[in-house]
Structure 1
């Protein structure tokens, strides 16, 4: 007995020494993972459709603080909020915070899209997309975009007394994408594309249960159809490139196919081209159509802002000859109109939030985010923080007169840092060209209430029906 007691006493200092050397245990953030697979997904989706998603997230923050755990779309997830969290997400390297979307987005858009890649692969693919979407390249396409907008207004707006804005803006942005990014002529092939495309995006935020009649299943099948159509387009464009070479005004697919490295090897694989073209389709179609729709909604409710936008656009219109298209220089004069667009993005961001993945165990704010867990950030929370934007519910384009006055990583409709959306300049062009012709050719008033839901993009009631009548230059 004495021997056992002596042995125990000798062990105590050794145990204390070992304990002192061990790192202190970090616990995962507070919260609950909920029901397996489903977790809090249905609650979030219900809140988005009821237009209470920001409130739903804010209640979690009030209960658990700026970092908490939950389960979304089949994965354990950490919700992070605030300027510091945004900076951490957008500025951390791929070895810490990796690109990875929910299973539903990954399976629908593909595993070689920019949303999934990291490290050298991410830099290579992003570099290829940015080289096509940078301002110097897009200058060549302003005239084409102008022609698409004017053709759209002649077909769908002129001679009408009432239109539904959101469906028409989706048609417009889809046609711009088909023309500028795919070089796809109008006709049955475009129509087939549009039908499958709309079905595909419906299930991008959904619980990944692949059984018949679910949104997820319908989206997967539509995605497979689109990929097959894109494979055919890529194959045909390869043949044209081999026969005729590259042209100065080529579309995105031809441009990516023609990119080769120093050894003459193609920079992107066919799979990477297809998956990233699908990503650009979604980004260029949905975000721009929603932004233009909400600007139209806003201008109907804000007469003073509407008058200021009209004055700026009429001055540009008066400087043009009949039939003359807008130029890059014209777009650079639309400063007030773009501030209106920025304030619209602040109050009604098309992207509610997005996901990353912990590439390793992460210590953040005193908590452990385990390797492999999702990280979820929500765009609109810092946008509506009164400590960052005074009177956040007031629409005030003057907030963006001096963009340097907006604190970094607080206004994030296009992401931030090195991970800012490469298509943001393309979205600016689409928006400014469309708004120019809309405000100089038409007046309008709303036909329904101002309610909208998220699915996952903001969707106004009944697609935002408006009464329209022609306007003449004053």
Structure 2
């Protein structure tokens, strides 16, 4: 037998054997949640992934809740897991000190081991604080004009003069251009284009069985991640040299900001290592362009039939401004209805289906024991579509968020941005790019959907049918 084939078989068989041995010999606490761990290694992973791709993931989760209750055990991505649902479960996940973030092995291999997603305690606080430094309001005010410029160029190049466009790939490219420009100082050109292509492959294997074999999505993601990381290392070292020569400042980009941070002990030591900067830049790329592009795509999908209700406030903002004058922070504050539309879109179609924590000790929840080292899996849809929390949950109703949150909803019900100490650090950044983009599209165009069937699938993030093709018409031509 050839050595590569033998090694591949060992790579597959060894985890299975170890898993079976552990299950046969390990001491499990009594009173585990109901449910089954399923097949070794695979567990229920393929069933969940099939449901996500078939647009039945919420039903898949609800079926488990109906069968076992709000707490049940299963196995996802090679790890014993407990699914928890409801506001109390969300609060437990976001605030319990016995749980730490621990992404599936596939995510860790692709994004890195030193990212904000996986660190805990002092390391998490240190890196979150560093990212928050770049994303604080005083810094964000400086970026509104830059984002406005990127959106204007995007509209001129990819929307103007066309009768039809496909929204999802356009929004992904727009948010990618915004994030790479502001976070990394990467200008338009071949390098940015290549990085955009790599990140399409990075996303393919984020939620996959982490077996590194040829022709798998996981292998493609690993290779694309390696190329992206090499580029980010190069950008980091070039930015460091520019800072030393006085050719860049702390506000020039995210990497410049992170490189400028030093320990509080006056030693002058850098706060983050190169590995930490690269790992968290990878996370920022995923979080900063993928989730925002999904939000704006589904806003456009909804506004195809109801754009006139949100257009008035944008006309009001623009009436006293010259066409070539960029939007300001103060202009965005007037777009309250549009942001309510965004929040309701996030309630109905949350970009992140769910996420994981890992127990660092045996812990009790809902009358059951969750053993140390197990995953805890929470999802947004169970609370977002609970009629007891959000009346008529399938009805699109932005007025639910007139006070930026449904006044009748209990805490930890709306969890599109997570919650607790790990609530999305880039939430305000997402608000800015969403409002700026929707301002220019609503001001310049009318549109209608090309597809009669209005559905989407998750892979793992939601994607509308055929990428959401629409017919567009310039408002001045109507």
Q: Tell me the residue number matched to 1:90.
A: 94
Q: Tell me the residue number matched to 2:134.
A: 132
CA contact (8 A) 2:31 2:369 kept: yes
Q: Tell me the residue number matched to 2:447.
A: 444
Q: Tell me the residue number matched to 1:228.
A: 230
CA deviation after TM superposition for structure 1 residue 248, in Å: 5.8
Report the 3-state secondary structure (helix = DSSP H, G, I; strand = E; otherwise coil) of the residue aligned with 1:472: helix
C-alpha change, 1:245 and 1:76, in structure 2 (3 Å) is same
Counterparts of residues 328-407 of structure 1 (less than 5 Å): 328-402=329-403, 403=405, 405=407, 406-407=409-410
2:226 matched to 1:239?
no
- How many residue pairs match? The answer is 445
* Cα deviation 1:224-263 (Å, max 9, x = unaligned): 1111111111111111111116526410011101111232
CA contact (8 A) 1:44 1:56 kept: yes
CA deviation after TM superposition for structure 1 residue 136, in Å: 2.1
CA contact (8 A) 1:291 1:344 kept: yes
Q: 1: CA distance between counterparts of 2:63 and 2:50? A: 15
Q: 1: CA distance between counterparts of 2:109 and 2:323? A: 48
CA contact (8 A) 2:400 2:406 kept: no
Report the 3-state secondary structure (helix = DSSP H, G, I; strand = E; otherwise coil) of the residue aligned with 1:209: coil
Report the 3-state secondary structure (helix = DSSP H, G, I; strand = E; otherwise coil) of the residue aligned with 2:476: coil
Counterparts of residues 21-420 of structure 1 (less than 5 Å): 26-93=30-97, 96-244=98-246, 246-247=248-249, 249-261=251-263, 262-301=266-305, 303=306, 306-402=307-403, 403=405, 405=407, 406-420=409-423
Q: 2: CA distance between counterparts of 1:185 and 1:335? A: 32
Q: 2: CA distance between counterparts of 1:118 and 1:417? A: 13
CA deviation after TM superposition for structure 1 residue 322, in Å: 2.6
CA contact (8 A) 2:239 2:248 kept: no
CA contact (8 A) 1:149 1:434 kept: yes
C-alpha RMSD over aligned residues = 1.2
CA deviation after TM superposition for structure 1 residue 450, in Å: 0.6
CA deviation after TM superposition for structure 1 residue 289, in Å: 0.3
Q: 2: CA distance between counterparts of 1:316 and 1:297? A: 23
Q: Tell me the residue number matched to 2:436.
A: 433
CA contact (8 A) 1:77 1:374 kept: yes
- Normalised by the length of structure 1, the TM-score is 0.92
Q: 1: CA distance between counterparts of 2:153 and 2:410? A: 40
Q: Tell me the residue number matched to 1:19.
A: none
CA contact (8 A) 1:203 1:216 kept: yes
Q: Which has the larger radius of gyration?
A: 1
CA deviation after TM superposition for structure 1 residue 135, in Å: 2.0
CA deviation after TM superposition for structure 1 residue 361, in Å: 0.7
C-alpha change, 1:147 and 1:407, in structure 2 (3 Å) is same
Give unpaired runs (5+ residues) of structure 1. 1-24
- Normalised by the length of structure 2, the TM-score is 0.92
CA deviation after TM superposition for structure 1 residue 55, in Å: 0.2
CA contact (8 A) 1:40 1:70 kept: yes
Report the 3-state secondary structure (helix = DSSP H, G, I; strand = E; otherwise coil) of the residue aligned with 1:410: coil
Q: 2: CA distance between counterparts of 1:78 and 1:214? A: 27
* Cα deviation 1:256-289 (Å, max 9, x = unaligned): 0111123211011110000001001000111000
CA contact (8 A) 2:251 2:257 kept: no
Give unpaired runs (5+ residues) of structure 2. 1-28
CA contact (8 A) 1:339 1:401 kept: yes
Report the 3-state secondary structure (helix = DSSP H, G, I; strand = E; otherwise coil) of the residue aligned with 2:141: helix
Q: 2: CA distance between counterparts of 1:30 and 1:339? A: 39
CA deviation after TM superposition for structure 1 residue 26, in Å: 3.8
CA contact (8 A) 2:80 2:374 kept: yes
CA contact (8 A) 2:301 2:468 kept: yes
Q: 2: CA distance between counterparts of 1:135 and 1:339? A: 20
